[in-house]
Chains A and B, each alone.
Chain A
Amino acid sequence: MAKKEKTLKTQQPQEERIGVYVCHCGSNIAGMVDVEQVAHWAETRLKDRGVVVARDYKFMCSSLGQELIEKDIKEQKLNRVVVAACSPHLHEKTFRTATERAGLNPFMCEMVSIREQVSWVSTDKGEATMKSEAMISGGVERVRQNVPLEPLTVPINPATLVVGGGIAGIQSALEIADAGFHVYLVEREPSIGGHMAQFDKTFPTMDCAACILTPKMVQAGGHPNITLLTYSEVEHVDGFVGNFAVTIRKKARMVDTELCTGCGICQEKCPKKVVDDFYEAGLGYRKAIYTPFPQAVPRFPVMDIDNCIYFEKGTCKACEKFCPTEAIDFEQKDEIITVEVGNIILATGYDLFDARRITHYGYGRLANVFTSLEMERMCNAAGPTNGEVVLRDGKTKPQAVGILHCVGSRDRNYNNYCSVICCMQSLKFAHLVHERTGATVYNFYIDMRTPFKDYDEFYQRVLEEGTLFVRGKVAEVTDAARLPGEEGKLIIQVEDTLVGKQRRIPVDMVILSSGLEPRKDSKEVAKQFGISCSANGWFTEKHPKLDPVATMTEGIYIAGCAQGPKDIPASVVQGAAASARVLGKIEQKEVALEPIRASINEEQCSGCRICNDLCPFNAILFHEDLMVSEINPALCQGCGTCVAACPAGAISGTGFSNEQILAQIDGLLLLNVGEEKIPA
């Protein structure tokens, strides 16, 4: 008895006047819960706990339902509201806004989920009804402990950071810069452009990728509102929405960009040639000092010190000798800078699936098996073969080419998802091979995925060109000849499922449409920025259907393939969408943060710092001088981890204080109405 009284001590001296609203949600709740009975129970049994009115209604979220609440608040002078309906994820905002309209602080309204947590998971009406009553009882006890809260507002820094200089990043940057606000565009490679700069033609229009990309690149490079930070990486992110402080490492190019004119003599004279594993996809060469491609933005070269003769042996320095403006600086060091921004857009792109993992396709073992990126470079007029489609020997044109769809995608042994672009890309390759050689082209597919504008028409076009389509996932690519006519060829062994027979098709060249994967370091990057990513490594959007560019962290947005595989138009759209959100935030000049957050009672804090490392949002600081921790209210998202972890119980949360939670538990157990039994 004594214990009961202690936990039910009320904190507010004024009289509670609580309104309880039980929603039918059509038959979603009413079908399993006797809603009238529940409302009646609340009105009678919880009268002593402050309930002055309890209603049930078909659809509380409708305007009429909301009006019920507003009317009661005004007429019955309610000072607290409990709505028993669906999940707060859906309508907490609705009911809190209605409450606010009626003149009551919105945080005096609590929701109790009797749909997801009772009706949808019960099979017995009697038990469901009893459970609903208990849940409402809990809600009432909790709301008795609520205090009015005001949201926190913080100002927004109008500058923006865009991480990743691919097409999505460039689009974002341009949109924000054109609107008149400053953008820092950070790119880890020496030039912006991303993967799109490596492509030859883009589907379905067969536009040359460089021709449509480079104008945007130039625009971004020269825009007065864009600070281009290429060959740079983000080291550390501090702060919160509206007020981020980002530390960036500008890696040493060994070239003084103030003096360099981009003439290219250093590259010409450099004697060290290495395989270009990045831009040329391992198919071509570059020098130790290089610009990745002729249209690079910015045009300043970069020195690869791991392969430079001077750094290896101490000799050469040909670049320095020949540079007309003395721009080469062997002593250059990395530079660390900090920029202050209000919002961040992550557009870091994808990595290509490593086809060497599929040993039975022979990539890496059999010379004439190529990946999609290698093929792009080969077709590119500025590439290692000047746009000629040839075998690995560099000269022979293939007579027959096989293109494999779904390499490393839709496959539980590698990646379980569809990479979206490979079917169209494979059709594109078929078209290009027809265009440049007289070869017979085979495409091996499981399904043909051509969903968007003009995509299926492109498929028709490729059919008209005489491409041979075989519906079957290729089982093996081998050079072991079995029948006459197979010697010296690559044999594709596949079941032609539409015919129902296994076929061995000799070709000269095999192209693997490798899938898209998240960047190798995407998990580290997500942690660095404080956002989440899926098990695969794609960044997680706030809502997959309705909010694909926002993240659960305020102020950080994602765009492009970093969020999931997609084609160029979709990347552009997401880049623009992210910019629109950022511009919206900038326009508001300040942002209101939810007041649900934790705070530390300094007197009770022992300075053990257990909470510091637990916070997923890096919101807790430690004051060395006072030996106590403090929570930054702007960063805190109210997740509750520190509250649970604090061994001294020194942390409590507004909106989820210890008193509120314990009261709710007592209410659930019906201790408030003197019943000890726990409902089923």
Chain B
Amino acid sequence: MTISPTIERPPATIPKQIEDLTLLEEVATRTAGVSRLEMCIQCGTCGGSCPSSADMDHTPRMLFAMLRAGMRQAALSSNTPWICVSCYHCVVRCPQNVHIADVMYTLKSMAIQAKLFKDSTAPDFSQTFVDMVEEYGRSFEFGLATRHYLKHFPLRLPGMAPMGLGLLSKKRMSITPSRIKNIKQLKNILKRAKELEANDHD
């Protein structure tokens, strides 16, 4: 088949992904402590240490390479931070002392704010947990579990019943929440904290 010079070609598309080179700095600023994110030499120790990396879209190292390349959309849509179990193997082994696990928390919050997360169960679980804590001052496992499973894994509930009943019968779970006394104080603190956080990122 000869290629004729008059063949129709589709018009060239402008690539959708625009590099955002401020991404790295933004992530570093929003991380607790001094993240040292810019010191990464891409050695792969973090990816090698991670116990759950097999389930991640990108290994931690790859994610950091994407951050450095300014691939905001791809990095924040990755499921990697949500699969991170916070075991801190990466942090103690990293030869450049990058606070990898803490950067994962930052990426989670940035993903939620950008409404970009692919996997919806994880952020929702965190939000439900946090709602309970803000309401009662203590975590409420029974409430959390039932709301979460009903919403996301309703089919698993029957299978979980033996475990749930087991925990209830051994008094390891309570059906009613426990509360702190000065919940008002806590609410005030959190309200102010949220304001400060929002103002910081204008």
Contacts and interface: CB of A to CB of B under 8 A. Distances in A.
User: Do A and B come together as binding partners?
Assistant: yes
Given A360-B93, A500-B58, A502-B53, A476 B41 contact: no
Nearest to A410: B95
B61 interface: yes
Interface string A492-504: 0111110011100
B41 A500 contact: no
Contacts of B61: 495, 497
A413 interface: yes
Nearest to A414: B95
Contacts of B62: 497, 500
B44 interface: yes
B59 A473 contact: no
Contacts of A500: 47, 58-59, 62
A494 B43 CA distance: 10
Contact of B42 (A476, A497, A502): A497
A497 B44 contact: yes
B45 interface: yes
B95 A472 contact: no
A476 B96 CA distance: 17
A446 interface: yes
B97 A412 contact: yes
Contacts of B53: 495, 501-502
Contact of A473 (B48, B54, B92): B48
A501 B93 contact: no
Contact of B95 (A473, A496, A497): A473
A359 to B, nearest CB: 10
Interface in B69-112: 89, 92-93, 95-97
B93 A475 contact: yes
A473 B42 CA distance: 9
Contacts of B54: 501-502
A493 B50 CA distance: 10
B49 interface: yes
A502 B97 contact: no
Contacts of A406: 43, 95
A286 interface: no
Given A500-B58, A500-B59, A502-B53, A495 B47 contact: yes
Contacts of B97: 412-413
Nearest to A360: B93
Given A475-B89, A501-B59, A502-B59, A495 B96 contact: no
A494 B45 CA distance: 7
A30 interface: no
Interface in B125-171: none
Contacts of A47: none
A502 B96 contact: no
A397 interface: no
Contacts of A472: 43-45, 47-48
A493 B49 contact: yes
Interface in A482-514: 493-497, 500-502
B43 A476 contact: no
B24 interface: no
Given A412-B97, A413-B97, A473 B58 contact: no
A653 B42 CA distance: 54
Nearest to B52: A502
Interface residues of B, number: 22
Contact of A493 (B42, B48, B96): B48
B37 interface: no
A476 B48 contact: yes
A501 B62 CA distance: 9
A291 B64 CA distance: 54
Contact of A495 (B41, B59, B92, B95): B59
A474 interface: yes
A474 B48 contact: yes
A475 B49 contact: yes
Nearest to B47: A495
A495 B45 CA distance: 7
Interface secondary structure of B, over-half rule: helix
A500 B78 CA distance: 14
Contacts of B46: 475, 495
Contact of B45 (A473, A496, A501): A473
A411 interface: yes
Contact of B48 (A411, A412, A413, A475): A475
Interface string A87-100: 00000000000000
Contacts of A474: 45, 48
A471 interface: yes
A476 B49 contact: yes
Contact of A412 (B42, B47, B58, B95): B95
A475 B95 contact: no
Contacts of A476: 48-49
Given A502-B50, A502-B53, A502-B54, A473 B44 contact: yes
Nearest to B89: A475
Nearest to A495: B47
Given A501-B59, A502-B54, A475 B45 contact: yes
B48 A495 contact: yes
Interface string A462-479: 000000000111111000
Nearest to A500: B62
A412 B96 contact: yes
Given A411-B95, A412-B96, A413-B97, A471 B44 contact: yes
Nearest to A502: B53
Contacts of A473: 43-45, 48, 95
A494 B89 CA distance: 13
A423 B115 CA distance: 45
Contacts of B45: 472-475, 495
A413 B44 CA distance: 16
Interface in A391-419: 406, 410-413
A502 B43 contact: no
A11 B61 CA distance: 70
Nearest to B45: A473
A497 B47 contact: yes
Contacts of A410: 41, 95
A474 B95 CA distance: 11
> What 9 pairs between A and B have smallest CB-CB spacing?
A475-B48, A495-B47, A472-B44, A411-B95, A495-B44, A475-B49, A473-B43, A495-B48, A497-B44
Interface of B: 41-50, 53-54, 58-59, 61-62, 89, 92-93, 95-97
Given A475-B46, A495-B50, A500-B58, 17 more contacts: A406-B95, A411-B95, A446-B42, A472-B43, A472-B44, A472-B45, A473-B44, A474-B45, A475-B44, A475-B47, A475-B49, A475-B89, A476-B48, A476-B49, A495-B48, A495-B61, A496-B44
18 contacts: A406-B95, A412-B96, A413-B97, A446-B41, A473-B43, A474-B45, A475-B89, A493-B48, A494-B44, A495-B45, A495-B48, A495-B50, A495-B53, A495-B59, A497-B44, A497-B61, A500-B59, A501-B53
